[in-house]
Structure formats: structure tokens, C-alpha cells
Amino acid sequence: MTGSARVRLLGGIGTIGGTKLLVETGSARLCFDFGVAYAPGARPFDERLKPRPAALLRDLMYWHLAPPVEGIYPPALAEPAGLVPAGSPGQDPWTVFITHLHLDHMGLTRLLDPSVKLLASEESVRLARGLRAAGEPVEGPELQPVPLSSPVRVGDVEVVPLRVDHDVVGACAYAIGTQDGWVVYSGDLRLHGTHPEWTEAFVQAAAALKPVALFLEGTRLPEERPTNSVPESEIAERVLTIAKAHGGMALVNFYPRNVERIQALGAHAALSGRKFVLQPEVYAQLQAMHEPMDHFLQYRRAGQDGGDVDAQEVRKDPGAYLVHLPYRQITELVDLDPPADSVYMLCNGEPLGIYDPAYPNLMRWLESFGVEGVRTGTSGHAAPEALDAIATGIAPRVLFPIHSHRPDLMQPPGLRIQLPVFGETYRLADLG
């Protein structure tokens, strides 16, 4: 039925992540991403205060941490929140598409009813297998793979996953074809990664569809223009250069889902004569993903079996190693006991910035051991001028800035811009 396609945004408005883009037609109900907004230090729940188990969804909905969607949650969650559960009479099934496996895009999939179809790229499914092996499973319905650039039909809607460059394997955008025109959802993307051609190809493919609406992420919009983004291809070399400039121990903290960066660090460490020692969880993740393991050794923590290198061996010859040490294992400093002139490199691992309450505690640990903390990394998100190029290249009828603290700063020339309102329904036929 012409004029029946509707879109709603239930997250990602004035926040980094947490996007849930709903597209509904006469015969299809689709949701794109199902994550939780990244807001360390501003969360209503913490390690001591948890949502009530018997009213979990209701508590999350009060803070807009979970969307009020009928027919997507199991009865045990939906009914206490006053929502119609999945599988109820008159409730068409939902299909949820995930752009990539960062928590702000898929961290709430654990709440979905098992009957919900959950789809992502084949590389994302491979990463999910690795996360399970690392003890960090992707919870919720079983993640099913969709080939990139291959249309998926859901009722009267055609969905095409399009590869983009981001700081996690398997990232994609989605082009959503309805009888009233195309909607494009960018997910997260950048132009300064190792594969800018992926994002450029996405822009060309999306532009060819002449979309009615483009929902474009704007994570870095508060930055001043122009912005010089450090190319991803330089990060590993920078890490090893910093390590060489210090005579003590070289420790590095990265985000384990950035497999491409881990491989680059391993290769550069080998070239510089260092052995790259990974924590057991990340070592198991890469093995489960069938990644090449030539450049990696496994760290052996106290009381653990297996592993290749322990703290005592690193202490004997600190210059021979590059040691992975995430915040969650920062207590290993007690055993490592780094010598003078040691360095700890934050390569986009957690905590992600000074706004995270964990950041000052990390600095406290480093200072207590006399270890210098150095930030070295690059963003997974497009710089403001790159966002302008992406938006104008696609040239949608209406641009919806999302996934940003300052969506109002997205002002590419010549485009009609609509700041979305939480929960408001937009009919594609009315966006002309």
C-alpha cells in the first residue's frame, strides 16, 4: 500500500549510540540496532544499584534505556512493563538488523524474545563466535548472517547491508527499500581507516538509490573544523615507536573487538623484535575466530594453567615484549612490577576517555607504579568534514543527524535537515 512506510527513532537522539531505528510497513516490522547509549558517569544504574529483576524492562524504559516496543519482548519482561509480548495475537514478528557488535548498537539484544529474527554481517557473526570463546557472549536470539550487498526480503521491504569502515570487524550500513522510497542508515563509519574505499563505495551505492531519508551518525560533531584524523594505518607504528622510546616495560590497552588493530600491533611488534603477549580472553577470541596467531603469545596470570609468558618472565626482559593489559586486569601491575621508564599506551581501550569514572582510577594505578600513561589511537567515527562529504555525496531528500551529543551541528550545505524527535513517526510519503 503506497504511503504506508513509517520510520521512528527510539534512541540515538542526543546520545552516543543506543540507536533503535524502526521501519514499519503494511507487512513488515524491522528494527535497526538495539544497543544502549554510551554514557559513563551519567548512568542511573551502577555496580550497587541495579534494575529490579521483576520490573527490569519498566525500570530501563523509564530512563529511555530500552524502547517501548510492542511485540518484541518475551512475556516475562513485556507484561510487567505494560507492553504486549511477542507472539501475541495480532502481533506481526519483528526482524532486527545489527550494524556491528559494539555494545551501543547491540547491547540490549539480550532482552529480545527468542522468536525475533536477529541478523548481522557474516564477519559480525564470526566475531560473536570469538566473543563467546572469550567469555563475553552476545546474548539474545541466535545471530544469523547476511551476506554484504545481497538484498534480504522481509515482507514488502528490501534490506541491503553495505560494508563500511569502522573500528570493528563486520561493520555495515543498511539501505532499506520500501514502496515509498529508500531509507539509508549509516551505522558507524569513517574515512580515515585502512579501508576508506568501503565507506566511499557505500556512499556511491546509497546515492544511486536517491534515498528519501538518511540517518547519519555524528559522534564527533562537537569537534572544531577542520579535524585532522590520525590514519588507522599509523597506529601500530606509533605504539611501537613509543615503546622503543621507553627503556622499561611496554604495556598496551586496546578494544578487543578491533581485530584489525590487534593484528597490526602483532605484525609491527614482530618487526621491532618484540613478542606481543595477549591476555587469555583475547587470545581465545582470536583462536575461535580462526585468526592468524603467528605474532601472539598468551599471558599466564597467577593461578592459571597454560599460557606462554608470565609476569616473572616479562620482568626479566621487559624490552622483549609488548604486553596487553586492559583496565579489567590492571591489578596485574602488582605482579609485573614495571621498572623505571615504563609506558602504558591507551590505544582506544576502556576507559575510553577522561569522562569515564574509571579513567582517574586507571591513572591512580599507573602513577603508583611510576608508569607513564600515553593516549595513542584514532577514532572509529568520521570527522566533521568527512560527515559533510558523506551526507552531500548521498544527497538524501531529508538528513536526520543521530548518534551525537550535538546533532544540531551537522550542517552539510544544500541539504534539508530534520532533527528527529524521540518516538515521533515519520511517513516517508510525507518527507517529499
H or E segment to which residue 183 belongs: strand 181-185
Looking at the chain, the domain(s) classified CATH 3.60.15.10 span: 6-224+381-430
Residues 239 and 245: beta-carbon distance below 8 Å: no
Q: Which CATH number fits domain 6-224+381-430: 3.40.50.2300, 3.60.15.10, 3.40.50.40, 3.40.50.720?
A: 3.60.15.10
The Cα-based distances of 110 to 15, 114, 132, 154 in angstroms read 21, 9, 14, 22
| pLDDT for the residue 3 | 64
Q: Which CATH class is domain 232-375?
A: alpha beta
Provide the 10 A C-beta neighbour count for residue 284: 18
Burial of 174 (0-12, 13-18, 19+ CB in 10 A): buried
Distance CA 216, CA 201 (A): 16
Distance CA 403, CA 392 (A): 18
| pLDDT for the residue 356 | 85
Instruction: Kindly state the cell numbers that stand for 253.
Output: 590497552
| pLDDT for the residue 39 | 76
Distance CA 365, CA 331 (A): 8
Looking at the chain, the domain(s) classified CATH 3.40.50.10710 span: 232-375
| pLDDT for the residue 326 | 97
| Entry pTM | 0.95
Residues 255 and 350: beta-carbon distance below 8 Å: yes
The tens place of each residue's pLDDT in the chain, 432 residues long, gives 456 899 999 999 999 999 999 999 999 999 999 999 887 767 898 888 999 999 999 999 999 899 999 999 999 999 999 999 999 998 899 999 999 999 999 999 999 999 999 999 999 999 999 999 999 888 899 999 999 999 999 999 999 999 999 999 999 999 999 999 999 999 999 999 999 999 999 999 999 999 999 999 999 998 877 777 899 999 999 999 999 999 999 999 999 999 999 999 999 999 999 999 999 999 999 999 999 999 999 999 998 988 999 999 999 999 999 999 999 999 999 999 999 999 999 999 999 778 788 999 999 999 999 999 999 999 999 999 999 999 999 999 999 999 999 999 999 999 999 999 999 999 999 997
From the centroid of its chain, how far is CA 20?
A: 14
| pLDDT for the residue 1 | 41
Residues 113 and 72: beta-carbon distance below 8 Å: yes
